[in-house]
A and B are shown apart, each in its own frame.
Chain A
Amino acid sequence: MPDIALTGPRGPKPKKRFSRGNIILYGTLIMVSMYYLLPLYVMVVTSLKGMPEIRLGNVFGPPLEVTFQPWVKAWSEACTGLDCTGLSKGFWNSVQILIPSVVLSIAIASVNGYALSHWKFKGSEVFFTILILGAFIPYQTMLYPIVIMLREIGLMGDLWGLVLVHTVFGMPILTLLFRNYFASIPEELFKAARVDGAGFWRIYFQIMLPMALPIFVVAIILQVTGIWNDFLFGVIYTKPATYPMTVQLNNIVNSVQGVKEYNVNMAATLLTGLVPLVIYFASGKLFVRGIAAGAVKG
């Protein structure tokens, strides 16, 4: 067939690279990211400088002489009062709080959500509403009652007391998350499993759980960052020996004896923020994979 010459617009419309829209869009994006990244940059460079260099006052300059001494000091030597063991103890405390809290809260909330979406019972909607209301009650009103309750059951100041508090407070939002996700799984799949003779737990473990990977990743991100960054519950329900990392960081940065070691403070802050940061970076990939695994439609 002969190629007839066509005149006028043909094929995809050409796009200008430096159009006004693009300049405004990317300009705004660059400015906003600078606004957020600059403090981080200052923290990183300061933490790598020695004290004499910091006294020169060149806040934005890169370190002339890179030293990791502030990081080592923040981790194992920084003092809070008379105790000079650095952040390391707080780190391990936080790990000991974090792992059981995350595992427990997600395990319970996922079963809650599954039961509330597929095994509705008389009053299940009322139960769910009451549970969700829990998310709207300010924490402050419950601080003192919880102190009394923990004291009564003998867990005040104990790591497990804090685990219990985190598990309970994570319940409303996590249950909501899981219930909504499980409700989006077609009911026919659930019916088919029942015809196939599967019961409550078998359907949960063999049908629902493998399909719920993406929501588990979301729940883990929520809980890990939330619990790791928690300060309020940590400072109230633990004692110095069981302080989580955030509380210890506060004590190190705010101790007023001698010179303020900005480099150590910066390093300590970065160390504390490292866990959520790693979670964000690592879960990005997991998240995509989780969505892909769940993308197969029934």
Chain B
Amino acid sequence: MSYSVEIKQLDLSFGAVKVLQDLDLNINEGEFLVLLGSSGCGKSTLLNCIAGLLEVTDGQIFIKGQNVTWAEPSERGIGMVFQSYALYPQMTVKGNLSFGLKNAKLPKDEIEARVARAADILQIGPLLDRKPGALSGGQRQRVAIGRALVRDVDVFLFDEPLSNLDAKLRVDLRVELKRLHNQLQNTMIYVTHDQVEAMTLADRIAVMKGGAIMQLGTPDEIYNQPRNLYVADFIGSPSMNFLEGHLEVGTFKVDDMVMPMTGYDFATPQTADRPAVIGIRPEHVVTGELVKNAPLQFSVDVDLVEPMGSDTLVYAKLGAHIFRIRMDGQATVKAGETIDIGVDPSRASLFDKATEDRI
């Protein structure tokens, strides 16, 4: 299987600050890969390295089997879309789209054809003679995508392209991006700090922290089998409930509660007793009729209720801990009530307290 982009032992440091360290990443042909992480984790830096806008300190970058470590950005077969759109303000939309093609000295009719095709795909035909200043945010971002599109490249790089848009537009453009990927089947590398964008768009997600990849996997793997505490905490909104306790012969004990972990798929065969953390997603807690079927059942006191329309977030007291539960939007719960909840250990996650890795 040939890879579209290969990153080998990549190091990048600014002076004494090591931003990326010994990073390896292989991206498949036609894959939509999302680099996800909070700010300062090195995800944009990595993207800039792939684009050739930052000189790497060590390591290699291959695009389509070619070693492009020393190549200029324009020679790498990449197109890039920036968060701030970065449209040339004094040029029309058409000028923006054709600037790169003119630099590449393409024949005029070829430029016309490519601009027309991109305008058609992105539905920006009527805007071609306008200047960026006369466009809305969504239109500008579409033109910015068009600028990458006309270059007919193998790899698209997106640097938080939707972060400057308002919430509704962001959702619309997100769907359009997914449709565009389905249509073009190009390799796309997408940087974001928004986990919803990552989950919805990605074929695979690379969760990054401190210049290293914490976990690389499908959205399903990242969500259901987070490899460590950081990923578990970062993914999911509202975030996972964590309870610290002790793992003893396949049973998890918190304070005086005992949770037999029957059905839990242990990642490591070794099950020595040790301090551990259990993670339970608020949406994996069942209430009402379903509690009867749940392997583990508790009674909790409701502390606070946040109705959000589509669902209701309940903060409840489980022993000494605050426990988040996601309930149906129509649920009639009030603070002060006592409700029964059920938990399925097979959907929970266990982490070693010392190493923070999944058990």
Contact A197 B104 (CB under 8 A): yes
Q: Is there an interface contact between A207 and B88, defined as CB atoms closer than 8 Å?
A: yes
The contact string, 1 if C-beta is below 8 Å from chain A, for chain B 131-158, is 1110000000000000100010000000
A296-B132, A297-B89 given; A195·B103 CB < 8 A: no
Q: Does B223 contact A (CB under 8 A)?
A: no
| Neighbour of A196 across the interface among B48, B83, B85, B147, CB < 8 A | B147
Query: B89 to chain A: which residues have CB within 8 Å?
Result: 211, 296-298
Binds A, one of B73-81, B185-193, B295-303: B73-81
Give B103's nearest chain A residue, CB to CB: A197
- Quick check: A195 and B74 within 8 Å, CB to CB? yes
Residue numbers in A under 8 Å from B84 (CB-CB): 186, 188, 298
Instruction: Kindly identify, within residues 82 to 138 of chain B, every residue whose CB is under 8 Å from any CB belonging to chain A.
Output: 82-90, 99-100, 103-104, 131-133
Q: Is A298 within 8 A of B103, CB to CB?
A: no
Q: How far is the CA of A202 from the CA of B100 in the complex (A)?
A: 11
Residues of chain A within 8 A (CB-CB) of B48 are 191
Chain A's interface size range is: 20 to 34
Task: Give Cα A201–Cα B93 distance, bound, in whole angstroms.
Answer: 22
Contact A189:B53 (CB < 8 A) given known A196-B147, A298-B132: no
Contacting residue for B133 out of A186, A192, A193, A296, CB 8 A: A296
The answer to whether A186 touches B74 (Cβ under 8 A) is no
Residues of B within 8 A of A284 (CB): none
Q: How far is the CA of A298 from the CA of B99 in the complex (A)?
A: 15
Question: Counting chain B CB atoms within 10 Å of each CB, which of A186, A194, A202, A298 scores highest?
Answer: A298
Q: Across the interface, do B80 and A191 meet the contact criterion of CB distance under 8 Å?
A: yes
| Chain A residue, CB-CB nearest to B84 | A188
- In the bound complex, residues from chain B placing their C-beta under 8 Å from that of A295 are 133
Q: Is the CB of A196 within 8 A of B133?
A: no
Which residues of B have CB within 8 Å of A186?
84, 86
A218 at interface by CB-CB < 8 Å: no
Say if the beta carbon of A210 comes within 8 Å of chain B: yes
Contact B79 A297 (CB under 8 A): no
A44: interface (CB < 8 Å): no
On whether the beta carbons of A210 and B90 are closer than 8 Å, the reply is: yes
Candidates A193, A195, A197, A293; contact of B88 at CB < 8 Å: A193
In the bound complex, CA of A210 to CA of B89 (Å):
9
B51, CB-defined interface residue at 8 Å:
yes
Q: Which residues of the partner chain A approach B151 to less than 8 Å between Cβ atoms?
A: 196
Least distance between B43 CB and chain A CB atoms (Å): 16
Is A198 in the interface zone, CB < 8 Å from B?
A: yes
**A298-B88 in contact given A188-B82, A194-B73, A195-B53 (Cβ < 8 Å):** yes
**Chain A 255-272: CB-based contact to B (< 8 A → 1; otherwise 0):** 000000000000000000
User: In the complex, which residues of chain B have a beta carbon less than 8 angstroms from the beta carbon of A191?
Assistant: 48, 51, 53, 73, 80, 82, 86
- A residues within 8 A CB of B103? 196-198, 202
Q: Which residue of A lies closest to B153 (CB)?
A: A195
In the bound assembly, the distance between CA atoms of A112 and B131 in angstroms comes to 29
Assess the B88–A189 pair: CB atoms within 8 A: yes
**Complex contact A192–B132 (CB within 8 A):** no
Cα distance A202–B72 when bound, in Å?
15
Chain A residues near B74: list those with CB within 8 A. 194-198
- Specify which chain B residues have a CB less than 8 angstroms from the CB of A293 in the assembled complex: 90
Which chain B positions have C-beta within 8 A of A207?
88
- The A168-190 residues at the B interface (CB cut-off 8 A) are 186, 188-189
For A296, the chain B residues whose CB sits under 8 A away are: 89-90, 131-133
Asked whether A194 lies within 8 Å of B88 as measured between CB atoms, the reply is no
- The distance from the CB of B55 to the nearest CB of chain A, in whole angstroms, is 12
Given known A-B contacts A192-B80, A194-B74, A210-B90, A298 and B51 have beta carbons under 8 A apart: no
**Complex Cα distance A207/B89, Å?**
8
- Assembled-state Cα–Cα distance A189/B82 (Å): 9
Residues of B within 8 A of A195 (CB): 51, 53, 73-74, 78-80, 100
Contacts of A193 in B (CB 8 A): 88, 99
Q: Could you tell me the distance between the alpha carbons of A191 and B79 in the complex, rounded to whole angstroms? A: 11
CA distance A298 to B104 in the complex (A): 23
Shortest Cβ distance from B134 into A: residue: A296
Query: Chain B nearest CB: distance from A270 CB in Å?
Result: 40
Of the candidates B79, B83, B100, the one whose C-beta lies within 8 Å of that of A188 is B83
Query: Cβ of A188: which chain B residues have Cβ within 8 Å of it?
Result: 82-84, 86, 159
A94 to B343, CA, bound (A): 89
When A195-B100, A197-B100, A296-B131 are in contact, do A189 and B86 touch as well, CB less than 8 Å? Answer: yes
Inside 8 A of B131's CB, which chain A residues have their CB? 296
5 A-B pairs (CB sep. < 8 Å): A192-B88, A195-B53, A196-B99, A210-B90, A298-B88
Known pairs A296-B131, A298-B86. 17 more at Cβ < 8 A? Answer: A188-B82, A191-B82, A191-B86, A192-B80, A192-B86, A193-B88, A195-B53, A195-B74, A195-B80, A197-B73, A197-B103, A198-B99, A198-B103, A206-B99, A211-B90, A296-B133, A297-B89
- Give chain A's interface residues, CB within 8 Å of chain B: 186, 188-189, 191-198, 202, 206-207, 210-211, 293, 295-298
